[in-house]
A and B are shown apart, each in its own frame.
Chain A
Amino acid sequence: MNQIKNMKQMEEKLHRADRKQSRLYLFCNFMALMIISAYSALMLSPTVQRVFPKGGDSRKQMYMIFVMTLVGCVVFTIYALGLFFRHKSGQLGILMALGASRRRLAPGLFREVITLSGVSAIAGTAAGFPLVWMIWHGFRLLLVDSSDMILTFDFRCLFISLLFLLLVVGAACLTAWRYLKRTNIMEVIREEHINEPVKELGRWCGPVGMLLILSGAVLGYGAPLACTAWFCVYRVPEWVSVLYAPVFVGLYMVMLHTVVHGWKSHRKNPYKHIISRSMMKFQGKQTVNNLLVITLLIAGGCFAVFYLPTNGISAMFRYASQPYDYFYKYQADQDVPDKETVEALGRKYALTFQDWKECDYVTLGIGGDHDVSEEDGIHFHTEYTPMLSEAKVLSEDAYRTLTGQEVDVVPGTYLHLENQEESSLYTNESAREFTNMVTREQLDVQFAGYLHYDLLVEDIVCCVLDNEDYARISEGLTDDWRGHYVEFNVDGRDSYQFANAFYHLFVSSFDETCERPGYYDRVQKIRENEAGVEYWADTDDFVIISYELADSFMFRSFWVYQPNFRILDQNDYLRNMSVMFMMFFFIFIVCMITALVVCYTRCQSIALNNRYIFDDLQKLGALPAFLDQEVRSQCSNVFKVPSLVGMSAMFLLFAMILYANDGRILRTEWAAMGICLGIMVLFGGVIYAVYRASVKTIKRQLGV
């Protein structure tokens, strides 16, 4: 046996012997960096950046959940570091007690922590990229593939990983320095056995916590709406988000209740699970923090994954309930394939068509009320503007032809198109006149009610006028203000190949004047330019529309003349939304992995910290079944409560948002909620499996 001769050799031997204890720290660092680098690599990849609209809600959600994941990773890395030093402290304390000075211990300790944290962090960062690549290509291979989904990386994302790596190494060095600076050597030696009891509150804290969660969610979500409705606040200040704070206080109280009291009544049998309850209580601070982070991560994961059914179901329902297989519109000055050309194309695919209907429409300026910001930039008032925005306008006859619905519009009034559920975001009941944008003729009108035809409802309002009014106001309009609606059905079974060929023929027949998004409002542009103001959409790069990218998510989601071809939309829905869906699915996976790692780490720490308690219990004659129960009881609290709270809180929040949108929950929304419930049950199964595996590992470690 080689005799150690100096400090360096001794430290190396001790490190080798401590390898087991370093493993958890290495694992946590590795996981944290892998998750952070994978998430940031995907989030900042040109693939995702191209598809997620700048300033859009989806992008904000992606960033928000990233921050949450980051917090989760910071917490479990710092926690694992704490655990590592708790074990290390015994060794450090002995060496200090035997006369090793700070200066003597520092090089070895810093070398060890820098090596451990640095190597694990670098390995984690490097592993992040293959992880993204594998998951993404797994999606492409097994679920959906599209031209949007070609994955490229922007390696500037490494900056985030580098920052996190510095944080990990920095935190490790800072903790080492703090240990070395301690003057009370006995405290360092006994560190491993020091408890951190949490400040107790009564049994009321759990129910009050739940109330706070509910009230925080309602206040936080409702406050901006109330500010706008009651106080005419144009731009709700960001500090209003503080009203969400009770949610976090409530979550803390619920977790505190879980740790200190548990949710079961112990009046009948106060000694049941007394060991596990007291163990939790005496490591309360760390436990409550951990449970909170797990809850937030699970909530974040659910938030991301709920996006998929909520969007998917309503789209699928919309396509299925569409009354015609093909519906499209175009500007009259465009050379779009006529009926004969379409029929000829159909014949190539052995298709014949029926119910062919078409009609004209015009695009007019419509007046209306809108919110105008006050000089203070906070409040607003409602103002009427004659040429507020574009409106597509049909005559009574055209509407009758297209929809088959009987309609009678009183002269001097207009009927507004709405969808069946009257849930459209864009309506205008306040118009007093329509304006011919070429001759500037005006037609005085009044709102007279709604008509229902889903295909005509889009971002731009659509109205029906009396035949004579229509003829008068549209007189003198040039072709770029006129348009044509077409709809038809396939006689028999439709063909995706035909729809695809027709779609590309259709897109290629437009010239560059129509290469614009649907929200680009020509009436607003004219009004603002005439007032000497630059139109915002002329300089905004929110989305880029290009005929060359006719199959991209951006084009199909935002092009002004994007047609509704049922079979194409149904088949390509997942493909068009692939990047969005896959990103949110990826976020779900990352959040859940992070949450499960924190759960597993917490359970591991139970085993490591309380090994001596289990040893004592065994010596006192505790039966294996009793010890088994105590381990299970500890672990189940770590897994069960955050999962239940995180998932149900997010489910309720989703339900509240869906309800608050229009004061009811629509049929498609009920269906989406049902699917969300199913996902929760599925994920519950995964959590249960990891719980079982954790219990098994811990029992093996404790020798139970």
Chain B
Amino acid sequence: MLYVKELYKSYEAGKNKYEVLKGIDFHVAKGEFVAVMGPSGSGKTTLLNCISCYIPFDKGNIRLGGMELAGMKEDALARVRNTKIGFVFQDFMLLDGLTVRENILVPRIVQGEVEEEAEKLADQLAAMFGISHILNKYPAEISGGEKQRAAVARSLINSPLIILADEPTGNLDSKSSRAVIETFNNAKEQMDATIFMVTHDSFAASFCDRVILMKDGVIYRQLEKGEDRSLFQDQLLEAIKEMSAQ
């Protein structure tokens, strides 16, 4: 589904050049729920932004559903973002002037006319994520957890190949965090969605099938979940501790 090969990305600040990604290699299979963890500055968010084509990368390859993203023209990239990728931001990024239902439908609106089928799908997603009662409300009128669930619904409205989520629980309390993670799990189980999530939260990561640990722009280690989620969380914490010690 997603193949990332030898990915490099650097930033320039004044005369200094900072290498953030130093040859990243990994892949994500269809229907897989993968998390990326690592300390601040390890390059997690930059990696996510490169995959989502929000920022250009220096060199390497990103293949999504068989399409090579490097070198794509702006219009084609926009199409990829609209139809192949669903994105969930840490701070929700809902449009304040639109209702929750309209926000969920924005990726369809961007495509063209909104058909009845899309409206039905929006309602189904809302029902699936427990936000049907707020569909006609505006973002300012709902809680953070509800906003994020609306954002997840939005990310799924075009049935993308992959959902990219940048710290989706970062701004939420534990109850809302759990609700959002369950939303992802529902999407994975009921819609066979592929999810790639950046997180600091080992609890959220413990729901994933696999966790990629990053440090200083390279992949430090990958861990796969067994049967027991709680055990997986302990393994993650141990691995993070070990990585921090080095």
Question: A residues bordering B, Cβ < 8 Å?
Answer: 1, 3-7, 10, 13-14, 16-18, 91, 94-104, 183-187, 189
Contact = CB atoms under 8 A, between A and B. Distances in A.
Top 7 nearest A-B pairs (CB, nearest first) are A99-B82, A17-B97, A101-B78, A99-B81, A185-B54, A100-B110, A14-B97
Interface string B72-98: 001100111111010101000111111
A110 B199 CA distance: 38
A1 B110 contact: no
Contacts of B114: 3-6
Interface stretch (B99-107, B212-220, B223-231): B99-107
B52 interface: yes
A101 B111 CA distance: 10
B55 interface: yes
Interface in B103-138: 105-107, 109-114, 119, 136
Given A98-B87, A98-B107, A104-B110, A17 B78 contact: no
B119 A3 contact: yes
Contacts of B154: 98
Interface of B: 49, 52-56, 74-75, 78-83, 85, 87, 89, 93-99, 101-102, 105-107, 109-114, 119, 136, 154, 158
A624 B93 CA distance: 30
Contact of A102 (B49, B75, B81): B75
A180 to B, nearest CB: 10
Contact of A99 (B83, B89, B97): B83
Contacts of B94: 94
Contact of B78 (A3, A13, A94, A102): A102
A104 B98 contact: no
A4 B98 contact: yes
Given A7-B110, A95-B95, 8 more contacts: A3-B102, A3-B114, A3-B119, A6-B109, A18-B97, A96-B78, A184-B55, A185-B53
A185 B78 CA distance: 11
A187 B49 CA distance: 11
A101 B98 contact: no
Contacts of B83: 99
B167 to A, nearest CB: 14
B239 to A, nearest CB: 29
18 contacts: A5-B113, A13-B102, A14-B97, A94-B94, A95-B110, A96-B78, A96-B81, A97-B54, A97-B89, A98-B87, A99-B80, A99-B83, A99-B85, A99-B110, A100-B82, A101-B74, A184-B54, A185-B55
Contacts of A94: 93-95, 106
B82 A183 contact: no
A14 B110 contact: no
Contacts of B53: 185
B78 A104 contact: yes
B98 A10 contact: yes
A99 B79 contact: yes
A430 B53 CA distance: 85
Nearest to B102: A4
B97 A97 contact: no
Contact of A97 (B56, B81, B119): B81
Nearest to B91: A189
Contacts of B81: 96-99
Given A3-B119, A94-B93, A97-B87, A183 B110 contact: no
Contacts of A14: 95, 97-98
Contacts of B113: 5-6
A205 to B, nearest CB: 21
Contacts of B107: 98-99
Nearest to B56: A183
Contacts of B101: 3
Contacts of B105: 4
Given A10-B106, A184-B55, A1 B78 contact: no
A5 B98 CA distance: 12
B101 to A, nearest CB: 7
A562 B89 CA distance: 82
Contacts of B95: 14, 91, 94-95
Contacts of A96: 78, 81
A5 B116 CA distance: 10
A680 B81 CA distance: 60
A10 B113 CA distance: 11
B54 A98 contact: no
Contacts of B82: 98-100
Contact of A183 (B74, B98, B102, B111): B74
B93 A189 contact: yes
B164 to A, nearest CB: 10
B75 A186 contact: no
Nearest to A180: B74
A101 B87 CA distance: 16
Contacts of B97: 13-14, 16-18
Contacts of A5: 109, 113-114
A104 B83 CA distance: 15
Contacts of B112: 6-7
Nearest to A185: B54
A10 B93 contact: no
A242 B82 CA distance: 56
Which of B49, B54, B83 is most buried by chain A, counting CB atoms within 10 A of its CB? B54
